[in-house]
């Protein structure tokens, strides 16, 4: 057992709040603190993600009811989420109905870039100066309320650029997709393991830059598979179009599977 | 950075429990269980908790963080071990592993002092 885990200052009886609140004031196991008051250790045992996960479950049910496939796109800032999205939307135009939720700490720049596609885009700003560095499920839940899910086949959530926190929050998506651009270095999957561990698909982006860089693509793949042996890895370039057919096919298949699953129910 | 929103959630929970315990109850210490996969930096978490607790009934409480190691089990040979580096496969058979612990994010206990007689 971890050394930290055996540290306990005042064992004593553990109590759950709520059952009998008044009992917390008076019970046999109390100690007298420095100030002379009674000391009591209350067993709370509360998962800090509970509130988020309840919202995520509600979102998941809503998406299932409407047979909408939701992909959560995550990456560090600047690895090409919005550019990939533009290239993806251009290919899917007229083929399926896409809606996008854009998450940023500030600005509507990304939503503005997608305006030419004429699709529903909801911009979430988590707010500057201490604004959240990720999208949590309650924000997604209220963003979804402004969408008509009957008119949507594919919902893409572009998360706040950050390789750490977005991985922590279930937003009710079907799949987490992580982007890693070739300029970020081969070691990122090992340095930000939770993100790559949670993702079903990893897109290595900007591969058009490979001839100009000392980057080992095989090592990027190997490092992704170290933290997640089951992850699919695709290489793409939104600039040249390389690999986009495979990525778009992945989306088509996912949307189709979700629809078939919904029909079967 | 996610330490701040986590700290705010902890403070909300502590206040909720204190409300149930009585008007004069105050928190002495707050104990969290945090899995190593959660990438929570204890020092950052302590700092954020102190800041988030200011002006609340959790102000001044000590935050204790128990870090939970990442335990995995090989799905093929059933071996269990603690991950020291982030390699989620079995070194013996190369098989996939399931994560047994390391994702915890739990408010365990709150030590409460109550002056009321």
**pLDDT, tens digit, 9 for 90 and up, residues A118-130:** 999 999 988 765 5
Give the Cα separation of B117 and A265 in Å (integer). 60
**Cα–Cα distances in angstroms (integers) from residue A88 to residues A147, A253, A261, in the given order:** 20, 14, 24
pLDDT (0 to 100) of residue A130: 56
In-domain check, residue A2:
no
The 10s digit of each residue's pLDDT in A142-176 is: 999 999 999 999 999 999 999 988 998 999 999 99
* Mean predicted confidence (pLDDT) in A196-203: 97
Are A228 and A203 members of one domain?
yes
Span of A25-39, A106-120, A195-209, B43-57 with lowest mean pLDDT: A25-39
Q: Which residues of chain A make contact with B21, given a CB cutoff of 8 A?
A: 17, 21, 24-25, 40, 42
- What pLDDT score was predicted for residue A29? 43
Name the residue range of residue A18's domain.
10-42
User: Both A96 and A212 in a single domain?
Assistant: yes
On whether both A64 and A187 belong to a single domain, the answer is: yes
Average pLDDT on B21-33 reads: 94
Same domain, yes or no: A152 and A211:
yes
Do the chains contact at B105 and A5, CB–CB below 8 Å?
Answer: no
Asked whether residue A159 is assigned to any structural domain, the reply reads yes
Please state the domain count of chain A.
2
SS3 content of chain A, % helix, strand, coil (to 5): 40, 20, 40
Q: pLDDT at position B1, please?
A: 57
| pLDDT (0 to 100) of residue B38 | 87
C-alpha to C-alpha distance for B60 and B81, rounded to whole angstroms: 38
Q: Report the distance separating Cα A165 and Cα B38, nearest Å.
A: 9
A185 and A139 part of one domain: yes
Q: What contacts B44, CB < 8 A, 6 or more positions away? A: B3
pTM for the complete prediction?
0.84
Nearest chain B CA: its distance from A82 CA (Å): 23
Q: A75 and A125 share a domain? A: yes
Q: What is the pLDDT of residue A134?
A: 87
pLDDT in tens, B49-107: 999 999 999 999 999 999 999 999 999 999 999 998 889 999 999 888 999 999 999 99
- Of residues A14, A25, A47, nearest to B109 (C-beta): A14
- Asked if residue A154 lies in contact with residue A68, where contact means CB atoms within 8 angstroms, the answer is yes
Mean of the pLDDT values across residues B36-58?
Answer: 93
The region of weakest confidence among A19-23, A146-150, A176-180, B16-20 is: A19-23
pLDDT higher at A264 or B117 = A264
Q: Are residues A25 and A122 in the same domain?
A: no
For A225-264, what is each residue's pLDDT tens digit? 999 999 999 999 999 999 999 999 999 999 999 999 877 7
Q: What are the chain A neighbours of B64 within 8 Å (beta carbons)? A: 7, 9
């Amino acid at each position: 057992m971890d050394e930290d885990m055996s540290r306990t200052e005042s064992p004593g009886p553990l109590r759950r709040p709520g059952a009998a609140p008044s009992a917390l004031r008076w019970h046999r196991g109390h100690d007298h603190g420095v100030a002379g008051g009674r000391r009591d250790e209350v067993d709370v045992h509360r998962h800090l993600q509970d509130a988020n996960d309840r919202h995520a479950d509600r979102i998941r049910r809503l998406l299932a009811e409407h047979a909408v496939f939701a992909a959560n796109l995550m990456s560090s800032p600047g690895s090409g989420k919005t550019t990939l999205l533009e290239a993806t939307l251009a290919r899917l135009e007229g083929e399926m109905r896409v809606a996008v939720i854009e998450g940023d700490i500030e600005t509507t720049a990304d939503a503005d870039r997608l305006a030419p596609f004429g699709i529903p885009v909801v911009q979430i700003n988590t707010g500057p100066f201490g604004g959240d560095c990720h999208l949590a499920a309650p924000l997604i839940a209220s963003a979804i309320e402004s969408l008509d899910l009957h008119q949507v086949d594919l919902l893409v959530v572009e998360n706040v650029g950050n390789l750490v926190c977005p991985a922590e929050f279930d937003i009710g998506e079907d799949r987490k997709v992580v982007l890693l651009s070739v300029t970020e270095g081969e070691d990122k999957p090992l340095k930000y393991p939770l993100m790559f561990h949670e993702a079903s698909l990893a897109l290595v982006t900007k591969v058009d830059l490979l001839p100009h860089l000392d980057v080992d693509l095989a090592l990027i793949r190997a490092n992704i598979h170290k933290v997640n042996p089951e992850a699919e890895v695709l290489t793409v370039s939104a600039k040249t179009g390389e690999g986009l057919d495979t990525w778009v096919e992945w989306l088509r298949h996912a949307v189709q599977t979700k629809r078939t699953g919904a029909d079967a129910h | 950075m996610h330490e701040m929103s986590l700290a705010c959630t902890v403070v909300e929970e502590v206040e909720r429990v204190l409300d149930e315990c009585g008007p004069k109850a105050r928190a002495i210490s707050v104990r969290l269980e945090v899995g190593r996969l959660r990438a929570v930096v204890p020092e950052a978490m302590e700092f954020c908790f102190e800041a988030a607790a200011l002006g609340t009934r959790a102000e001044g409480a000590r935050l204790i963080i128990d870090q939970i190691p990442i335990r995995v089990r090989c799905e093929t040979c059933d071996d269990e071990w603690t991950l020291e580096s982030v390699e989620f496969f079995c070194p013996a058979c190369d098989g996939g592993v399931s994560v047994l612990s390391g994702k915890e994010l739990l408010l365990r206990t709150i030590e409460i002092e109550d002056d009321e007689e």
